[in-house]
Amino acid sequence: MLRYTQCADPTESAARRERMRKAEEQGQMEESARRIVRNLFGTAPEVNQMEDLVPSAERIPATLRLGPPTQSPPAAAPPNTENPVKRKPGRPPGKRTVQQSPKLLKGLGRDIMLKSAGWEVGNGESINIWEKPWLNITSPLRPMGPPPEEFQNLTVADLLLPSTREWNRNMIQRILPFEEHRILTIKPSLTGAPDKLSWLNTTSGEYSTKTGIFTAEETLSKAVACAREWATSQISLPRSARTPPSSVTNPMDCALIKTDAAWNERLNIAGLGWTIASQDKSSSFSSPAHHVSSPLVAEGLAVREAVLKCRELGLARIIIESDSAVLIKALQTKASLAGLYGILIDIISVTSSFDFVSFKWISRDNNVVADTLAKQILSFELGLIAPPTFV
């Protein structure tokens, strides 16, 4: 019995002990013993002979000899042959947790930011012309290398005239002749404002969760922004929808400045016009501007020239009016506009020294004089550039 119940497999051993316990309780052990004796002697012993073979002492219960009954292990469920679940080879199913190194995540975030950011020129002192992207506001563009050894450490400030902070064209033609036109369209700060790192392909140049990923819709709007901003700023409202003029449009102690710009897209030339009306007199001014990349830049240049003239004249309280709604809103809220950083920061810096300043939008119909001045100077400048005709 001991040999029968003891085997290498614990589960099978427990099952054998259980079968022996049940067989002894049902009297099958005695019957098995009779059969063994009958087979050994070849006879059928009587019941009393069989009883002589079994000790007369009281039988020990099976539970004491074989131990308590054990529960047989549950039978395995039959395989589901109707709709077997197909599993791909490899890792077992389940949620996989991947832990990234903080240094790795930081490095990835930094790389993404650098690929989507560019520098807008203020004073140019913090921008190495070879290492940092600064040539474009829509893509991280920098001059092609390798740089000459003598010019490796040059910054954008080295390409500016120290006295006026305008571009030094002789220096540009010497170092970056193939990038001259692109560089001249960048308008640096005339007041020496620091350079700014901006988020590319956005209207404001500021980073947000909405602009972290560049969408196709924004790409399309960017492609037509140049044409639409000019058309929007020049739209005349219907007579029934025009805003009636305010009863107090020009306080007695403030000078009223009206600005406007005209832009030639083919040659990137703009005409800037502005008027200054104070209590005792009214003056008109105009000037051309070359390498102007958009009509919005032209409008900003007109306002900057006007406030610089007001500072030159010693005016302390001014109201500036323009028919460019985008520009006026940015000046009112001190918001950023991509490509206009140097211009806007100069306007805010100069007007901060005034006792009072206000920016207001006006319709084109109320800005006829400044508009005429801008168109006249633009026409004159185009006449100087156009080749002479021989009769």
Of the candidates 331, 258, 255, the one whose C-alpha atom is nearest the C-alpha of residue 296 is 331
The DSSP symbol for 83 reads S
Q: Round to whole Å and give the CA distance between 270 and 277.
A: 23
What pLDDT sits at residue 41?
56
Beta bridge partners of 269: 264, 290
Handedness of CA 67, 68, 74, 75 (dihedral sign): positive
Q: Which of 22-31, 39-48, 350-359, 379-388 has the highest mean pLDDT?
A: 350-359
Q: Round to whole Å and give the CA distance between 24 and 66.
A: 10
Q: Which residue has the higher pLDDT, 12 or 168?
A: 168
Beta bridge partners of 119: 197
What pLDDT sits at residue 137?
85
Helix (H, G, I), strand (E, B) or coil at 375: helix
pLDDT single digits (tens) 193-216: 999 998 876 666 555 545 444 443
Contacts of 161 (CB under 8 A, 6+ apart): 167, 168
pLDDT single digits (tens) 60-75: 555 555 555 555 555 5
CB 133 within 8 A of CB 140: yes
CB 23 within 8 A of CB 15: no
What pLDDT sits at residue 342?
95
Q: Round to whole Å and give the CA distance between 6 and 20.
A: 12
pLDDT of 238 over the 50 cut: no
Of the candidates 369, 252, 257, the one whose C-alpha atom is nearest the C-alpha of residue 309 is 257
Show the tokens assigned to 46.
Answer: 């009587």
Handedness of CA 172, 173, 177, 183 (dihedral sign): positive
Show the tokens assigned to 22.
Answer: 């049940």
The DSSP symbol for 265 reads T
pLDDT single digits (tens) 105-143: 455 455 555 567 899 999 999 999 999 999 988 888 999
What pLDDT sits at residue 81?
54
Helix (H, G, I), strand (E, B) or coil at 272: strand
Residue 218 dihedral angles phi and psi, to the nearest 5°: -70, -35
Q: Round to whole Å and give the CA distance between 54 and 33.
A: 10
Handedness of CA 120, 121, 127, 133 (dihedral sign): positive
Length in residues, the chain:
391
Region 238-267 average pLDDT: 70
